[in-house]
Homo-oligomer: A and B are copies of this chain.
Amino acid sequence: MTTAASAEAAVLDDLLSGIEARKPRALARAITLVERAGEQRRELIRRLYPRTGRARVVGITGPPGAGKSTLVDRLARHLREGGETVGILAVDPTSPYTGGALLGDRIRMQSLYLDPGTYIRSMATRGAMGGLARASHDAVDVLDAAGFDWILLETVGVGQDEVDVVRSVDTVLVVTVPGLGDDIQAIKAGLMEIADVFVINKADRDGVDRTVHDLEAMLGLAETQSAWRPPIVQTVATRNEGIDGVLAEIQHHRRHLRESGELAERRRQLLRLRVEAILKERVLAEADASLGLEAQIERGLAEHDDPYRVADRLYAGAVRSANGETVTAADEETA
């Protein structure tokens, strides 16, 4: 081992023992590492993966303004009161239009920061197109290996990217509020399909019966092969009302997952989602490293090449790069 490599290995050992001790600085460094591409991230996940698979992972999604952050805050406090540890990952879309508001929500949670049994981290979507789901799954691994009993993964349910973030967690809460019009009901169609538990927050508002009715009607329309019918729970998170009911349904759903064998199926889906994301990231990185994505795009434009022809050149470049650099070792491993 070279001196540089052994220094790097020592840094990683250090990081791993910091994660195991749930030191906030080590957790923060590890999550920053997985937000970036590169060999170190890969080595980190490889080392900590054997310790994963124990945490209960709950996704919380829904439209902006539904009160997700407050709900997450209250869920975390209830779990802490029962003596359990909680890691929170908040995936924020940092659009110039909404970034500020979400940052404000985070500040409300700051009292939790002082509790060593809780860890809170925001991850940004900006520039992470497609890589965000991969990074958030890696970050769940970090918190899982750190031994948190629960991981709450909060995201705004806007795009496919955000849906991929929460898909294949153990239990998905879809949070809504009374009084959203028909248009928004249609927008949420993509979320309806991934919901395990519906939470109607701000349930002291007018129109809550209508919202329950609409959700039940939508559930009635859905064709599903699952024996699980998502329950609907009402909360007023700001007043701490209904939080026990949400936790009870999460536990109830978890029992269903285990008894029906669906937990294993979700873990399978998650692994597939993660492997596909890594393959896609890798082919782009290797194509770029060998021939340069930008350079080939420019050449394609200059010669009016069709996209398949440009992609063929880049794919061949990625293959040549793999032949020269990594394929021999990988071949031996799988032979």
**Residues of A participating in the B interface, judged by any CB pair closer than 8 Å:** 42, 45-46, 49-50, 53, 63-66, 93, 95-98, 101, 129-130, 137, 158-161, 163, 177, 179-184, 186-187, 189-190, 192-193, 218, 221-223, 264, 267-268, 271-272, 274-276, 278-280, 282-284, 287, 291, 293, 296-298, 300-301, 304-320, 322-323, 326-327, 330-331, 333-334
**Complex interface: chain B residues within 8 A of A282 (CB):** 283, 311, 315
Complex Cα gap A320–B129 (Å): 29
**Complex interface: chain B residues within 8 A of A218 (CB):** 97
**Complex interface: chain B residues within 8 A of A101 (CB):** 186
**Complex interface: chain B residues within 8 A of A272 (CB):** 293, 297
Contacting pair A310 B97 (CB below 8 A) = no
Minimum C-beta distance from A128 to chain B (A)? 11
Contacting pair A221 B287 (CB below 8 A) = no
**Complex interface: chain B residues within 8 A of A331 (CB):** 316, 320
**Complex interface: chain B residues within 8 A of A186 (CB):** 63-65, 97-98, 101
Among B137, B184, B279, which residue has its beta carbon within 8 angstroms of that of A315? B279
- What are 9 A-B interface contacts by the 8 Å CB criterion? A97-B221, A159-B160, A159-B163, A183-B184, A268-B301, A272-B297, A274-B307, A316-B330, A317-B334
Closest Cβ neighbor of A95 among chain B residues:
B189
Contacting pair A307 B193 (CB below 8 A) = no
Contacting pair A276 B267 (CB below 8 A) = no
Complex Cα gap A282–B21 (Å): 42
The 9 closest A-B pairs by CB, nearest first: A316-B330, A49-B306, A159-B160, A64-B186, A278-B311, A160-B160, A274-B307, A283-B283, A97-B189
Complex Cα gap A150–B307 (Å): 21
Among B64, B98, B307, which residue has its beta carbon within 8 angstroms of that of A271? B307
Contacting pair A320 B313 (CB below 8 A) = no
**Complex interface: chain B residues within 8 A of A137 (CB):** 307
Contacting pair A275 B159 (CB below 8 A) = no
**Complex interface: chain B residues within 8 A of A284 (CB):** 276, 279-280
Complex Cα gap A317–B306 (Å): 27
Q: Knowing that A268-B298, A317-B334, A320-B331 are A-B contacts, what are 11 other residue pairs whose CB atoms are under 8 Å apart, sorted by A's residue number?
A: A65-B183, A96-B222, A96-B223, A97-B192, A159-B161, A181-B184, A183-B184, A279-B280, A279-B284, A280-B283, A283-B283
**Complex interface: chain B residues within 8 A of A304 (CB):** 49-50, 53
Complex Cα gap A182–B177 (Å): 13
**Complex interface: chain B residues within 8 A of A298 (CB):** 268
**Complex interface: chain B residues within 8 A of A316 (CB):** 322, 326-327, 330-331, 333-334
Closest Cβ neighbor of A296 among chain B residues:
B275
Minimum C-beta distance from A118 to chain B (A)? 26
Complex Cα gap A311–B275 (Å): 5
**Complex interface: chain B residues within 8 A of A45 (CB):** 306-308
Complex Cα gap A182–B65 (Å): 8
